[in-house]
Amino acid sequence: MGQVRYYARSSRAPAETLYGRLDAWFGEDGSPVALTEIDEKAALFEVSVYFEEAEAVDEAAVREAFGDLAPEREDLPDIDWMAEVLAGLKPVRAGRFLVHGAHDRDKVLPNDLSIEIEAGQAFGTGHHGTTAGCLSAIESVVRRRRPRNALDLGTGSAVLAIAFAKLARRPVLATDIDPVAIAVARENVRANGVSRHVETATATGFGSPAFRRHAPFDLVIANILAGPLMQLAPQVARHLSDDGDVILSGILERQREAVLAAYRIQGLFHRRTLLRGEWVTLHLCRNRVGAV
């Protein structure tokens, strides 16, 4: 048997209380806890806690932690995380960043900002055009104005959050819908020595109390797909500071105009498009100056 999830639904206040309690009881031991708004109109929230090994779970303790909100249990299938990421084991260079595995530490040059990520876990080894595009865009934004903080939404391996933390040495919130990715992200953040700057949280879109603690963001980075990026446009804009920058990727060239339109409606201006293979990375900004 593999991973298991326990979850309960309620209105916002009890859900937030439960989220805090589950995080205190299980979060420290590495069991991801998630709070998700599942029905905005009905203001219905779902709180989940995930355990790696179903057999090892103390179910009585879990039920006690949920209290009055009796949890449902869901056994999760084993997922093939390798599929997307085994693109290659070679180091990838994007601007000053060198993304590499432990076996390639000797390839790091004195001026490189090295990001050590092992292939084979969450998405994001730098081999994908979208990740490399975001790394280049992060470097150009940080060079221009060193944002006070950042959000990496859909962090995967945390490669982009680590890049921002290493370059800007400023706080970054790294979130992902997938609790397994967040467990991998935490480990990578620690291994790259940037735990002081990076906070990780499991969240669907903007559904976590962590956003309230960190927003507004001076830089929002989201490498997901065109569909969710368009849906998230109003919330990205709402969580962005008055002169903030946005880096979006996971967009095919033919989807570029639709994504741009969704963000223009929210008052954002296009600054630059980077093209890597069939993928584009968009840099947008709140400030009209410098926009094209």
Binding site for ligand SAM (CB under 6 A): 122-124, 130-131, 134, 153-156, 159-160, 175-178, 181, 204-205, 223-224, 228, 250
Residues 6+ apart with CB under 8 A from 261: none
Instruction: Give the nearer residue to ligand SAM in terms of CB position, either 177 or 291.
Output: 177
Residue 154 annotated as lining a ligand binding site: yes
- DSSP state letter for 27: G
Instruction: Measure Cα distances from 65 to 23, 25, 31, 56 in Å.
Output: 10, 8, 13, 16
> Token pair of 261, please?
């339109």
> Rg of the chain over CA atoms, in angstroms?
19
Q: Residue 69 burial (CB < 10 Å; 0-12/13-18/19+)?
A: middle
Q: How far is the CB of 235 from ligand SAM (least distance, A)?
A: 10
Instruction: Give the nearer residue to ligand SAM in terms of CB position, either 31 or 131.
Output: 131
Q: How far is the CB of 230 from ligand SAM (least distance, A)?
A: 12
Residue 223 annotated as lining a ligand binding site: yes
Instruction: Give the nearer residue to ligand SAM in terms of CB position, either 114 or 130.
Output: 130
Residue 176 annotated as lining a ligand binding site: yes
Instruction: Give the nearer residue to ligand SAM in terms of CB position, either 8 or 161.
Output: 161
Q: Give the number of other CB atoms < 10 A from CB of residue 59.
A: 13
Residue 112 annotated as lining a ligand binding site: no
Q: How far is the CB of 134 from ligand SAM (least distance, A)?
A: 5
Q: How far is the CB of 168 from ligand SAM (least distance, A)?
A: 16
Binding-site entries for S-adenosyl-L-methionine: 131, 154, 176, 223
Binding-site entries: 131, 154, 176, 223
